């Protein structure tokens, strides 16, 4: 289930090919991740100079934070992608508030791209998240706060809560691609893809999806 690529560059190029193909569909709908893993994917997509004018996107998650904070996922996405391609600002969405109206818009997703946390989380669905969960406010685990502290001046500056798309919502996507980079992800990736499907390892639920691809580079 896990396809290993020889370099991070190749990982990003393979996923960029999948995004490029998706953007040729009529009115494509994408779900997009943040984190360090997709940074070169977004760079590659910007370099390809694709047409984003009919595309709608939903980000997987956002901290409970001022949307204009430099470490908000809103700021991240603008910096790495949205301000650099021809997507309409009305067409990209963040879960700033977990409303039913927001959840209702996340339908008929053509492609959902995911990363994976070192504790097996996808988006901010921490261990224990239920398989039918929807967009909601969550408390971040200590491990996630530690892992993400590298982006903040001190660990105390890391938000303790986030809003995340749920596992149930993610699983309704027509196609899912999970990207993982670095040897520190290999163990959890193996547990998630080859072990038991359990809410203790949220990414393991992907084993139940009929169209999922998992790419890894070390």
Site of interaction with ligand GLP (CB under 6 A): 33-37, 60-61, 115-117, 123-124, 144, 148
State yes or no: is 74 an active-site residue.
Answer: no
Q: Residue 94 or residue 124: which is nearer to ligand GLP going by CB?
A: 124
Distance CA 83, CA 140 (A): 28
Distance CA 187, CA 211 (A): 23
State yes or no: is 121 an active-site residue.
Answer: yes
Q: Which listed residue (59, 62, 110, 121) is catalytic?
A: 121
Tell me how far the alpha carbon of residue 8 is from its chain's centroid: 17
Nearest to 32 by CA among 155, 179, 181, 158: 179
Nearest to 33 by CA among 76, 96, 97: 76
Q: Residue 149 or residue 198: which is nearer to ligand GLP going by CB?
A: 149
Q: How far is the CB of 199 from ligand GLP (least distance, A)?
A: 17
Q: Which listed residue (69, 91, 93, 119) is catalytic?
A: 119
State yes or no: is 126 an active-site residue.
Answer: yes
Enter the tokens of residue 118. 């070192």
Q: How far is the CB of 30 from ligand GLP (least distance, A)?
A: 14
Active site members: 61, 119, 121, 126
């Amino acid at each position: 289930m896990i396809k290993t690529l020889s370099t991070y560059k190749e990982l990003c190029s393979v996923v960029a090919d999948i995004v490029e193909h998706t953007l040729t569909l009529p009115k494509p709908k994408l779900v997009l991740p943040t984190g360090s893993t997709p940074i070169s994917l977004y760079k590659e997509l910007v370099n390809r100079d694709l047409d984003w004018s009919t595309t709608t996107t939903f980000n997987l998650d956002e901290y409970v934070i001022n949307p204009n904070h430099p470490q908000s996922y809103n700021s991240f996405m603008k910096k790495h992608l949205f301000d650099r391609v021809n997507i309409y600002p009305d067409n990209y969405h963040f879960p700033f508030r977990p409303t039913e109206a927001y959840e209702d818009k996340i339908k008929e997703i053509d492609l959902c791209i995911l990363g994976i946390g070192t504790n097996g989380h996808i988006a901010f669905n921490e261990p224990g998240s239920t398989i039918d969960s929807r967009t909601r406010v969550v408390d971040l685990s200590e491990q996630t706060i530690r892992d993400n502290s590298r982006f903040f001046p001190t660990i105390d500056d890391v938000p303790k809560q986030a809003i995340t798309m749920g596992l149930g919502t993610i699983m309704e996507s027509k196609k899912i691609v999970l990207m993982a980079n670095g040897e520190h992800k290999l163990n959890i990736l193996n547990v998630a893809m080859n072990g038991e499907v359990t809410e203790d390892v949220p990414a393991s639920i992907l084993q139940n999806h009929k169209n999922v691809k998992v790419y890894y580079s070390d």
